Chain A
């Protein structure tokens, strides 16, 4: 049962991920965004299978429910017909390839370091909160600064748009 569900969610995530990048049927950016939402939800299913319930909930709340809504807004802000026609430029292709290979190297490194067959992480949201505020206090505070920087970024953007 567990294995079946894993393959189901993994296939769903991979398929919709592929359809985001290379959709043979449609060049509509909204369609791509919606497949990305589907991929996020499939990932959240995978987190549930790992017993990472908090992460699963966050995956839906933040990625599917917030970040993707922002993506949709951005898509609507652009001229849609224009972006449907647009081709990938050489610069964008090189940059994209570099990002993909960087991420791939990181993933490969992490997989090599991870001990085989780790037990599923059993822990509640409360344990997570405790860890976050004891062992990982410093990264947590960095996150708060990062969020502040993001807000300043919002203002920079808005003022450039206003001009």
Chain B
């Protein structure tokens, strides 16, 4: 791609790469400031008149009973587990995609097996009904 944009290649030498992460840290500070500043400002200027009604949990006109803390259905947890597994899979596919143009047939077959095993896993989860919301 360097031949399409010789200028871009010339102005972004690889040795300055670490410094770009420094800019990322600066961006992080700016972003946090962007989120914190309005909160502080509002804490300074906003009026404050607490009352018992305002401080009660929001419910449909009824007095709320007990803590909001309820146990969740296991389904949410299963989706989270499936998510972690597939996230790891995605992470393995990215370097393969980046290196694809220079890889041998063997690498293609290896990735084929990898994707096939995971497709099989997905099918298994599907058949066993883990993916259906009940």
Contacts and interface: CB of A to CB of B under 8 A. Distances in A.
| A and B touching (Cβ–Cβ under 8 A) | yes
A154 interface: yes
Contacts of A73: 72, 76-77, 80
A81 interface: yes
A157 interface: yes
B21 A48 contact: yes
Nearest to A140: B110
A155 B126 CA distance: 10
Interface in B93-121: 94-100, 102-104, 106-107, 110-111, 113-114, 117-118, 120-121
Interface string B65-82: 001010110101110111
A68 B105 CA distance: 37
Contact of B18 (A48, A133, A157, A161): A48
Nearest to B123: A151
B90 to A, nearest CB: 8
Contact of A148 (B81, B95, B103, B121): B121
B91 A81 contact: no
A82 B6 CA distance: 63
A79 interface: yes
Nearest to B89: A147
Counting contact residues on chain B (CB < 8 A from A), the size range is: 35 or more
Given A69-B83, A70-B83, A154-B85, A161 B74 contact: yes
A58 B89 contact: no
A126 B107 CA distance: 13
Contacts of B100: 129
Counting contact residues on chain A (CB < 8 A from B), the size range is: 35 or more
Nearest to A127: B99
Given A130-B102, A147-B88, A154 B78 contact: yes
A77 B95 contact: no
A62 interface: yes
Nearest to B95: A129
Nearest to A48: B21
B128 interface: yes
Contacts of A103: none
A27 to B, nearest CB: 15
